[in-house]
Chain A
Amino acid sequence: MNTWKDIDFSNDELGHYSRHLSIPEFGMEGQKKLKAAKVVAVGTGGLGAPMLQYLAAAGVGTIGIVDFDKIEASNLHRQILFGSSDVGRSKVEVAKERLQEINPHINIQIHETRLTSENALEILDQYDVVADGTDNFPTRYLINDACVMLDKPNVHGSIFQFEGQLSVFNYVDEEENRGPNYRDLFPEPPPPGLVPDCAEAGVLGVLPGIIGCLQASEVIKIITGIGQPLSGELFLFDAQDFSTRKVNVTKNEDNPLRGENPEITELIDYEAFCGIPSTNGEQKESKSEVPEVTVEQYQSWLDSGEEVQLIDVREPYEVEIAEMGGELIPLDTVLNKTDKISRDKKVVVHCRSGVRSAKAINKLQEEYDFDNLYNLKGGILAWSEKVDESIPQY
């Protein structure tokens, strides 16, 4: 952002940005600062998709995109950067195509990788502003800590169902006062058991659009110096009753990133910090060791005429989307309905992907001594993929 005074524009660019140039507070200086700036968006999901489109259209000169995912059908109700013909393609590659179409005058750099403690400092250090549009706590703490270590502002947006949160962390104002960071607001993440699972992690499609656009606005304000960034404050939006609130975020003296001798001076294992077993190496050594059955094995049991009970621990709304004939006992109610679960034959328990059904089996084994339960590996998604293609993926 230091070299903005040397920036030139082509005639095409001047046409593209003319409605910015005509805002008195913005003008040529603001536009030059945008072109000189480098912004990285971590995540091209519900938040990243709208944010990136506005940052590209606005003329941010260099935009980095970090994502490792492929586009799925379930992304399309909110990730408006993508269309149905893109399903299965790389998010960052499609994003680059779309953004370059929106604005051919900017430079898009893609990082098709998961942001980790090993690569975060190297990737984020290439940019002036970081925008966090991720969907999980380990990466949010990773981005926060990396931004503090690299001295970068972190424009944070997060969403849940109908509710969104927005703040600017680690922002240094003109008087060199550094604002609070994510660890000041939330010193610790919720334990994994309290993080919403697939059954309840839905979101109103337009909500990340709203919050993502507000993130783009904050990024542009930081770069251009126009207005007052949302530093030291948390914006809360609830779409259900259209309530908006701003609350103050104050510095926490115990923040391990701060002080003369900060407790955290290098990036840590953020999955461990968030209480999630490491996915490295011995991946399957999770505490949820339950007997499993693959969809092929389960089908062979059925084909051989073996009597097997199938229990579905998903929510009723999921059965409306896709079902494979199991008896519905939602996870929250399973311990109250043990009389419906057979003890004298094999019982296969399934959910969407196999996580909730493993939890159910754990509880039933520990508290009711069941020894005939099998977790359907990969859940109904695997059944749909490998056995019955007529069942929709969701």
Chain B
Amino acid sequence: MAKIIIPTPLRKFTDQNRDFTTDKQTLSDAIDQFVNEYPGVKENMLDDNGNVRSYIKIYIGDEEVNPADDDTTELKADTEISIVPAIAGGCYHLPL
């Protein structure tokens, strides 16, 4: 089973789970399964067209991959998929 490593900012949408195992064979299927399991992730990770948002990168091992054009990527039992979002630190919000 391949494993998706969930970054801290998305864990509030995954009941604080830190990874997600998937039996899917391709990256795009694995991402679909993951976001369907956690609708809050879907809204934050994918845009209206289903593409990964530009402030989030997906890696297999240390190489960036794009689920949109990579649906033939075969996942192996030991494949680790990393979701890497932009983080800024601190507490920054709308001025009020």
Q: Using a CB–CB distance below 8 Å, which chain A residues touch chain B?
A: 45-47, 134-137, 140, 158-163, 165, 185-190, 192, 194-198, 200-201, 203, 208, 233-234, 236, 238, 240-241, 243, 245-248, 250, 276-277, 279, 283, 286, 288, 353-355, 358
User: Residues of B contacting A186 with CB < 8 Å?
Assistant: 54-55, 57, 86
Beyond A160-B9, A277-B94, A288-B96, 7 additional pairs, beta carbon < 8 A: A45-B90, A135-B88, A135-B92, A137-B92, A159-B89, A160-B8, A276-B94
Asked if residues A161 and B90 are in contact (CB atoms below 8 Å), the reply is no
Asked if residues A247 and B87 are in contact (CB atoms below 8 Å), the reply is no
Q: How many residues does chain B have at the interface if contact means C-beta atoms less than 8 Å apart?
A: 29
| Closest chain A CB from B42 CB (angstroms) | 13
Whole-angstrom distance between the alpha carbons of A203 and B84 in the complex? 18
Given the known interface contacts A186-B55, A194-B44, the answer about A247 and B62 at a Cβ–Cβ threshold of 8 Å is yes
Asked if residues B82 and A279 are in contact (CB atoms below 8 Å), the reply is no
Given the known interface contacts A241-B18, A247-B62, A247-B64, the answer about A197 and B93 at a Cβ–Cβ threshold of 8 Å is yes
Q: Which A residue's beta carbon lies closest to that of B43?
A: A194
Asked if residues B96 and A198 are in contact (CB atoms below 8 Å), the reply is no
User: Residues of A contacting B92 with CB < 8 Å?
Assistant: 135-137, 195, 201
Q: Which A residue's beta carbon lies closest to that of B61?
A: A247
Q: Using a CB–CB distance below 8 Å, which chain B residues touch chain A?
A: 5, 7-9, 12, 18, 44, 53-55, 57, 59, 62-64, 82, 84-96
A-B contact pairs, 23 of them (CB 8 A): A135-B90, A136-B88, A137-B92, A158-B88, A159-B87, A163-B7, A165-B87, A186-B55, A188-B53, A188-B54, A189-B88, A195-B88, A195-B92, A197-B93, A200-B12, A201-B91, A201-B92, A243-B5, A247-B84, A248-B62, A276-B95, A354-B96, A355-B96
Asked if residues B55 and A188 are in contact (CB atoms below 8 Å), the reply is yes
Which listed residue, A136, A190, A250, touches B90 by the CB 8 Å rule? A136
Whole-angstrom distance between the alpha carbons of A259 and B9 in the complex? 33
Which listed residue, B7, B54, B62, B86, touches A246 by the CB 8 Å rule? B62
Q: Which A residue's beta carbon lies closest to that of B58?
A: A247
| Closest chain B CB from A290 CB (angstroms) | 9
Which listed residue, B8, B44, B84, B94, touches A286 by the CB 8 Å rule? B94
**Among B59, B63, B86, B96: residue with most chain A CB under 10 A:** B96
Asked if residues A161 and B8 are in contact (CB atoms below 8 Å), the reply is yes
Asked if residues A236 and B82 are in contact (CB atoms below 8 Å), the reply is yes
User: Residues of B contacting A195 with CB < 8 Å?
Assistant: 88, 92-93
User: Residues of B contacting A162 with CB < 8 Å?
Assistant: 8
User: Residues of A contacting B87 with CB < 8 Å?
Assistant: 158-160, 163, 165
Which listed residue, A187, A190, A247, touches B59 by the CB 8 Å rule? A247
Asked if residues B89 and A190 are in contact (CB atoms below 8 Å), the reply is no
